[in-house]
Amino acid sequence: MNLPGLTVHEAARLLRKRQISSVELTRAVLERIESLEPHVKAYVTVTPELALQQAQAADQALAAGGDLPDLLGIPVALKDVLATEGVRTTCSSRILENYVPVYDGTAVSRLRSQGAVFLGKTNCDEFAMGSSTENSGFFATHNPWNLDTVPGGSSGGSSAAVAADECLYALGTDTGGSIRQPAALCGVTGLKPTYGRVSRYGLVAFASSLDQIGPFTKDAEDCAIVLNAIAGHDACDSTSVNRAVPDFRAALRDDVKGLRIGLPREYFAAGVAAGVEQRVREAVGVLEGLGAQVGECSLPSTDYALDTYYIIAPAEASANLARYDGIRYGLSEQAPDIWSQYNATREAGFGPEVKRRIMLGTYVLSAGYYDAYYLKAQKVRTLIKQEFDRAFESFDVLLAPTSPSTAFKIGEKVDDPLAMYLNDVLTIPVNMAGLPGLSIPCGLSDGLPVGLQIIGKAFDEETILRVAYCYQQHTDFHKQKPRLG
């Protein structure tokens, strides 16, 4: 039996029947990590001792029986921006290279309370700033489908780990597409929940009004299971919404008859590769053949979303990253005075993309430019949200490509920041509006995965998961695997 290739729900069933043990499952995944990591480089830190301890505890709980959590004994990878007690949490940055948190973030603690098995921390773009995982302060992660290409970003380590079966599921974060875009490029399922659905407590902040934690999984059913575990109000997070959490798994059904699907014409404009558009339209055809009603809509402010994002997100980043000063924690470069120490620490600790965004954010917040740039960007953000609201008066979900292209070569865009930023052009509007978005595999173009993006109304993850689940009952793209050892 190929244990690392199991889905979460398959593994949970086998564990409960005592046909496999958590220790057996965990060892199989750790062996696969050891075999593939020299090539994929998905992990910054692997924690085999912790994983096996947790697996042994899970097996004891399974033997005792009773009401068992869905994720008990199942191995997970955590993006290295999530605080994990006693485990190095670096944000893939030299400035936090040796930082070990003394507490768990809420999403991590909720997995721990379920008896999840922590395999380690996955690589990402430094402080989640990037679209290819080439901006990591340590090394680039490789796409398991073609090791010469990027896995997407910023959560590229998490997406690559799931695609390569180096974990059964993973957590990532999405600020402008950093779950959905790498999910698309690596051919896995990735969900960005509604802003406020999952607590951000313990997530090292990039842009606080945009960041959201979500799962990478092998199919929509697993996505619903993980979301059930991590969603819910948290008093430690003032942006966490105090709203009842439905049973997302119970909402899954093989039925989209009568569902109204909108296709935003701006998402199929110039810049989307022909092969990507073809696969997405074929996926729309599958759902239409299953009884969904399909029509066009327009989101005209989409053209301004990228510009708006690269004002608001760097502005928030410049404030959030001010805490890394060489005094309180993290890297500390010695210098003759405090200002020199600040400068020396940040010069040595931050990579070029982080520095670029801090400078841009500081500029747009400075006197004389705040009204011209930041305030105007916030007004456009409101327009983007209003246009989505109008579209959802006529449609239940919106479908679009997740990324305008398939995975590109490592190094191809690293020296052209503007070209790199365009990778998130189709995902950013969802973050600006605070909506849920899901990417699922819908085929291959030139041998590389293409992602179908399903966008829903605020706090309506049930519908987008239902659409994804129904689609996956009638296709097998989510079961296709890269050819690795």
Catalytic residues: 79, 154, 178
Helical residues (DSSP H) of 2-155, grouped into ranges:
8-16, 22-40, 48-64, 106-113
> How far apart, in Å, are the Cα atoms of 170 and each of 7, 103, 117, 161, 263?
12, 19, 11, 8, 29
Residue 456's contacts (CB-CB under 8 Å, 6 or more residues apart) are 396, 397, 398, 435, 436, 437, 438, 463, 464
In the block, tokens 């966008």 appear at: 455
Beta carbons of 204 and 67 less than 8 angstroms apart? no
Q: What is the side-by-side order of every strand in the sheet holding 75-79?
A: 43-46, 117-122, 75-79, 169-173, 213-217, 189-192, 437-445, 448-456, 397-401, 260-264, 293-297
What three-state secondary structure class fits 485?
coil
Q: Both ends of the chain: CA-CA distance in Å?
A: 15
Separation CA 224–CA 400 (nearest Å): 21
Q: Which helix (H) or strand (E) holds 391?
A: helix 376-391
Q: For helices 220-230 and 461-473, give the axis angle rounded to 10 degrees.
A: 150
In the three-class reduction of DSSP (H, G, I as helix; E, B as strand; rest coil), residue 342 is classed as helix
Element (H, E) at 277: helix 274-289
Q: Which residues contact 205 (CB under 8 A, 6 or more apart)?
A: 211, 316, 320
Picking from 227, 219, 215, 148, the residue whose alpha carbon sits closest to that of residue 182 is 215
What are the distances in angstroms from CA 283 to CA 251, 374, 447, 454, 469?
A: 21, 38, 17, 11, 13
Residue 372 DSSP code: I
